[in-house]
Amino acid sequence: MPDTTLTPPLAAAPIEDRAGALSPRAPLTAAPAAEAALLVAWARDEDEVREAQRLRHEVFAGEMGARLEVPAGTPPGLDVDRYDAFCEHLLVRAPGEADEPGPVVGTYRVMTPAAAARAGGLYSDNEFDLGPLTPLRATMVELGRSCVHPDWRSGGVVMALWGALAAFMVRNGLETMVGCASVGMRDGGHAAASLWRRLEATHLAAPEWRVTPRLALPVDELRQDLPVDAPPLLKGYLRCGARVLGAPAWDPDFKTADLPVMLRLADLPARYRRHFIGA
C-alpha cells in the first residue's frame, strides 16, 4: 500500500468518533505560511473523491508503474478499491483562478474505527497480521493512499495534510495512526532490506505491538548493508515519533516493500504537538 502509506461511485461517509457520533467537518484552512495559498479540506461528495482517485492513479500507475486492480465499470484514469467508499478523503488544493477551486495536489485516505468495522477490517489487514494491535483499534485510524503531485513536493503539501490529520484525531478522540511506508523495489528490494535492518536497530516498536507480514519481503536473500536513507515521508513520520511495527511486506502489484508504521499522538515530541495541535 503505497504512501508516497491506503470506490464504488459513492461519496465519502461522515466523519465519526469512536462512538459513531457525527463530528463537524473541518472548514477550509490555509497551509503553513510558506505556502499559504494551499487549501486543505475533506472531500464532501463523489466528484471530490474522484479528484483524489485521479491524482492517485497519476502517481501510482503513471509514475510508479503500479498494477491497479479496480472494480468493474470504474472510469479510466482512477485508482479505486473497495475501501474508498468507507473512508474519509483529505485533499490539498493548489491555488485556483477567480472563484474556481484549484486542482488537488495532495491526498490522504483515512479509515476510522467505525468505518473499519463496516468495511470488515483495514486495508493493512491484507498485508499484515495486525492481531497485536487489537487493544488499540477502538481509537486507531488507518492512513493510506497518500500521494503528492510531482510539482508540489517541496514539503508544504505534506505539512498541510499532517496539520489537518492531527486536528481530525483530536476532534474525534482518536489516539493512534497506522499505515504502511512504502519503499520502491526497482533495485530488486536490496534498498528496502537495508533500510529495514537499520530501522530495526533504531526505531522498532515494543514487542507487544509487533506485527507479521503475510507476504514477507525475503530480506535474508537480499543485501542488508547498503547506506540507504529513509524516504522523505517515512523520515517525517520517524521525526514525529513513529515506530516500525515489524519486517516489511512485499506488494507485487505496487512494486513496493511496505513497512508497517504506528504513530501515537502521545508520542509526538513537544515541538510537533505545538505545531500540529497547539498543545
What are the residue ranges spanned by the domains of the chain? 29-277
- 103: DSSP letter: P
Phi-psi region of 183 (alpha: psi -120 to 50; beta: other; left: phi over 0): beta
Q: Quick one: how far is CA 194 from the chain centroid?
A: 22
pTM for the structure as a whole: 0.85
pLDDT in tens, the chain (279 residues): 444 332 222 333 333 322 223 233 333 333 343 355 899 999 999 999 999 999 999 999 999 999 999 999 999 999 999 999 999 999 999 998 878 889 999 999 999 999 999 999 999 999 999 999 999 999 999 999 999 999 998 888 998 999 999 999 999 999 999 999 999 999 999 999 999 999 999 999 999 999 999 999 999 999 999 999 998 889 999 999 999 999 999 999 999 999 999 999 999 999 988 888 876
* Residue 1: per-residue pLDDT: 44
* Residue 7: per-residue pLDDT: 26
Cα first-last separation, the chain: 31
Give the CB-side neighbour count of residue 97, counting CA atoms within 13 A: 0
| CATH superfamily of the 29-277 domain | Gcn5-related N-acetyltransferase (GNAT) (3.40.630.30)
* Residue 11: per-residue pLDDT: 31
